[in-house]
Amino acid sequence: MKSLSFFFFFIFIISVFPFLCFSFNPESPTDRRVLVLLDDFSLKYSHSIFFNSLKSRCLNLEFKLSDDPSLSLQRYGQYLYDALILFCPSTKKFGGSLDLTAVIDFVDSGHDLILAADSTASDLIKNIATECGVDFDEDSSAMVIDHKSYAISGTEGDHSLIVSDDFIQSGAILGKTKIEAPVLFKGIAHSVNSANSLVLKVLSASPSAYSANPESKLLNPPLLTGSAISLVSVVQARNNARIMIAGSLDLFSNRLLRTAVQKAGSQDKYHKSGNEQFVTEISKWVFHERGHLKAVNLRHLRVGETDEPAMYRIKDDLKFSVEIHEWSGKNWEPYVADDVQVQFYMMSSYVLKTLSTNGKGLYLASFKVPDVYGVFQFKVDYHRLGYTSLSLSKQIPVRPFRHNEYERFITTAFPYYGASFTMMAGFFIFSILFLYNK
Partner 1 sequence: MAREKSSKDNAQALFNSLRSAYAVTPVNLKIIDLYVGFAVFTALIQVVYMATVGSFPFNSFLSGVLSCVGTAVLAVCLRIQVNKENKEFKDLPPERAFADFVLCNLVLHLVIMNFLG
Cα–Cα distance between 356 and 365 in angstroms, integer? 7
- Which residue type, as a one-letter code, is found at position 182? P
**What residues contact 94, with CB distance under 8 A and at least 6 apart?**
37, 66, 67, 71, 102, 124
Considering the complex, state which of residue 7 and residue 416 has its C-beta at the smaller distance from partner 1.
416
- Residues 101, 73: contact at Cβ < 8 Å? no
Q: Using the minimum distance from each CB to partner 1, give the nearer residue, 169 or 437.
A: 437
CA distance 117 to 382: 33
Do 188 and 142 meet the contact criterion of CB atoms below 8 Å apart?
Answer: yes
Q: Assign 186 to helix, strand or coil.
A: coil
Residues within the interface to partner 1 (CB under 8 A): 410, 412-413, 415-417, 419-420, 422-424, 426-427, 430-431, 433-435, 437
Residue 347 or 433: the one with the smaller Cβ distance to partner 1 is 433
β-sheet bridge partners, residue 232:
203, 246
Q: Does residue 210 contact residue 231 with C-beta atoms inside 8 Å?
A: no
CB of 428 to partner 1, least distance (A): 9
Least distance (Å) from partner 1 to the CB of residue 372?
Answer: 16
CB of 303 or CB of 410, closer to partner 1: 410
Cβ count within 10 A of residue 438 = 2
Of 141 and 422, the one with the shorter C-beta distance to partner 1 is 422
* Sequence-ordered list of residues with C-beta below 8 angstroms from that of 241, at least 6 positions apart, any chain: 107, 108, 109, 110, 111, 112, 113
In whole angstroms, how close is the CB of 412 to partner 1 at the nearest point?
Answer: 5
Q: Least CB distance from residue 398 to partner 1, whole Å?
A: 21
Q: Closest distance between partner 1 and the C-beta of residue 343, in Å?
A: 30
Q: Which is nearer to partner 1, 309 or 426 (CB)?
A: 426
Q: How far is the CB of 416 from partner 1 (least distance, A)?
A: 3
